[in-house]
């Protein structure tokens, strides 16, 4: 299943996604962790030192390889050059699985050892000012979208994406590619206003959204979030000394994470599993096509000199190919 963490800058997206990834790994689940946030900190939050984090390959730099691999022998996609970030898979396309080796993982993923087992980490690469809000060809998150659109993932397998709530993901449809989106919100007006904006986009596409309150310090904070967010509030997390120790470069064993925070992670896990069970593959594929046609019209056709609508394979539904590895 696919889980995204979004929210305002500094709300705790990276912290909570890294804790959730550690929780999944501790339970032995296969995990692909993806850093698609403007500030690329997921590697560090998973315990990599500066040198290790800097050595991670950037997905954005491997787009030609990613496109060429995923295109496979799909006759509707004449070349990797005509493949844009929203190009949907069809007959002949290569699909990715969470548990397998493939050239995309070889080029873009690195193993990160955590308590309980290793996860695969992929990062988009650092954003520059010129990348922010870019909707077209050079979008840094395009590689993530392509991979998700070609991924068949079974129950018990997790792709966790640390992402911004920015315009990039709304324009491209990336925000609709998840079984469940956790919106991390501090108990502040700004935190809650990002939730409202996201909710608005999400509503039209049936995106499942739950709020994770972070840095919640007492009954006042909790009351505020409950009043502003209502039943979308799934759980709250308080200040964590474990996180603070990790930030100092002295991560304690994961088993020592505070019990209330462990409990919060279990509840995220349960919610994610429940969301996967509700996945509607046909709607998922329909939305993929919807965003492709939208991007084709607004810039893709012109940029590639091709009628990109012809890339859509009308008989194809992503996910019919699923085989669980657990």
Ligand X SMILES: Nc1ncnc2c1ncn2[C@@H]1O[C@H](COP(=O)(O)OP(=O)(O)OP(=O)(O)O)[C@@H](O)[C@H]1O
Decide: is 76 part of the binding site for ligand X (CB under 6 A): no
**Which of 1, 2, 3, 15 is close enough to bind ligand X by CB under 6 A?**
15
Decide: is 39 part of the binding site for ligand X (CB under 6 A): yes
Find tokens 């496979």 and name the residue. 72
Residue pair 178/230 in contact (Cβ under 8 Å)? The answer is no
Radius of gyration, CA atoms only, the chain: 19
CA distance linking residue 260 with residue 225, whole number of Å = 18
Site string for Mg ion, 136-165 (x = CB under 5 A): ------------------------------
| 109-114/117-123 β-pairing | antiparallel
**Which of 1, 4, 12, 21 is close enough to bind ligand X by CB under 6 A?**
12
Site residues for ligand X, 185-214, by CB under 6 A, read 214
Which of these, 87, 85, 125, 122, lies nearest to 105 by C-alpha position?
Answer: 122
Site residues for Mg ion, 25-84, by CB under 5 A, read 37, 39, 41
Decide: is 186 part of the binding site for Mg ion (CB under 5 A): no
Q: How many CB atoms lie within 10 A of CB 269?
A: 17
Decide: is 13 part of the binding site for ligand X (CB under 6 A): yes
Q: What does DSSP assign to residue 91?
A: T
17 or 87, CB closer to Mg ion? 17
Decide: is 41 part of the binding site for ligand X (CB under 6 A): yes
CA distance linking residue 208 with residue 2, whole number of Å = 11
CA distance linking residue 303 with residue 313, whole number of Å = 21
For Mg ion, the nearest residue by Cβ is 14
Q: Single out the segment in contact with ligand X by CB under 6 A; choices: 68-76, 199-207, 241-249, 267-275.
A: 241-249
Contacting residues toward ligand X, per CB under 6 A: 7, 9-15, 37, 39, 41, 214-215, 237, 239-240, 243-244, 247
């Amino acid at each position: 299943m696919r889980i995204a963490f979004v929210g305002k800058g500094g709300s705790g997206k990276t912290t909570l996604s890294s804790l959730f990834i550690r929780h999944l790994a501790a339970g032995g689940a296969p995990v692909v962790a993806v850093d698609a946030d403007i500030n690329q900190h997921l590697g560090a939050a998973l315990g990599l030192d500066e040198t290790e984090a800097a050595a991670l390959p950037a997905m954005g730099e491997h787009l030609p390889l990613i496109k060429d691999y995923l295109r496979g022998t799909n006759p509707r996609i004449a070349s990797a050059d005509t493949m844009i970030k929203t190009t949907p898979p069809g007959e002949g396309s290569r699909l990715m699985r969470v548990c397998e080796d493939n050239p995309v993982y070889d080029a873009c993923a690195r193993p990160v050892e955590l308590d309980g087992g290793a996860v695969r980490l992929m990062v988009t690469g650092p954003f520059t000012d010129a990348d922010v809000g870019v909707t077209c060809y050079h979008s840094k998150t395009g590689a993530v979208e392509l991979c998700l659109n070609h991924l068949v993932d079974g129950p018990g397998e997790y792709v966790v994406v640390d992402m911004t709530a920015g315009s990039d993901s709304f324009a491209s449809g990336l925000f609709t590619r998840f079984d469940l989106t956790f919106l991390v919100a501090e108990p502040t007006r700004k935190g809650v206003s990002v939730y409202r904006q996201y909710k608005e986009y999400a509503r039209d596409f049936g995106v499942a959204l739950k709020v994770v309150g972070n840095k919640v310090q007492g009954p006042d904070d909790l009351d505020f979030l409950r009043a502003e967010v209502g039943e979308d509030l799934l759980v709250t997390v308080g200040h964590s000394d474990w996180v603070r120790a990790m930030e100092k470069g002295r991560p304690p064993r994961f088993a020592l994470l505070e019990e209330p925070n462990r409990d919060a992670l279990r509840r995220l896990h349960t919610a994610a599993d429940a969301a996967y069970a509700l996945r509607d593959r046909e709607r998922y594929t329909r939305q993929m096509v919807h965003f492709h046609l939208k991007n084709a019209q607004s810039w893709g056709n012109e940029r590639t000199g091709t009628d990109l609508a012809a890339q859509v394979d009308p008989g194809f539904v992503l996910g019919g190919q699923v085989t669980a590895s657990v």
